[in-house]
Structure 1
Amino acid sequence: MLDELPRLRRYARMLVRDSARADDLVQECLVRAIAALKSFQPGTNMRAWLFTILRNTLYNETKKARRSVEQTEEPVSAISGGQEEALAMRDVQRAFDHLPPIQKEVVLLVAVEGMEYEDAAAVLGVPVGTVKSRLSRARQDIRAFLESHRKAGGK
């Protein structure tokens, strides 16, 4: 078994592309091989037997990891560096800046300050229906601006 260690490590590194994980995989392979040594038939290819154990160990770990991810309620996502969010917020700010003042007021009161429609209507001195329609138009205008911005390549 010891003679096969360098080959097992090379194979594991090729499979997982991470030397620390590859070493863990080889270690697990050897643990399983020692536990199953009684099932090894003398005269057969020890290297092929060990490589099969290593490969099966990796596949079992991969399946196990997939099942655990599938069982979590929330999907695992990559951690962002914040650049995409910063660009998206810049685009939303630009879209907001293009709104007419009466729509900006409604967005600020309802979306930013969290006021109820009735309270925003009282502040602005307009009916509740007017607040709702201005907010609806503001949302449409922001979406349209963002969509045209995306199509134009982010300029």
Structure 2
Amino acid sequence: MRTGSGDDAEDWAAAGRGDGEAYGRVFDRHRGRVRRHAMRLVPPEVDVEDVVAVVFLEAWRRRRTARLVDGDLLPWLLVTATNVARNATRATMRHRRLLATLPPAEHAPDPADRHDDGAAVAAFRRLSVADQQVLALCVVAGHREAEAAAVLGVPIGTVKSRLSRARKRLGAQFAEHPAVSTTSGGHR
């Protein structure tokens, strides 16, 4: 699809004088064709958008010397895209060969797998959602009871009673599961 040689010739001449808007029109006019061309040339692990960006960077760098063919810059862009795609493909192949020479990495266990969340978190998770909410707001986050009541949409008296019962239930969780409390390495 030719866009008219006059468009490229005029815009490219203006771009050569440093007109960024004219360069932008050339970019908008040819970006799709350059991208489709690059997609046919590079392996899937090469980012096509990177190839397109390098092509247009080269076009900007060489805006005074890039050759138009019958007033059209697209042929020059496609040749440049071919060269950039070849370079990107060669770099990818070199990277693959390098990775193939490296010994396989030893599996390092995740340190989080060796530790549980602690006795308090385990006990907290066994509480009801209502108990968790009031404890999270008042104890963990440090909000006043009035603020917790506003967040939960309940009267302040309800928050006070829920908080009192939730603390008792949390204490009971430690009593019911003594192996989880302080003997498993958790902190009080």
TM more than 0.5 = no
Report the TM-score when normalising by structure 2: 0.33
Rg comparison, structure with higher value:
2
Report the TM-score when normalising by structure 1: 0.40
The structure with more helix, counted as a fraction of residues: 1
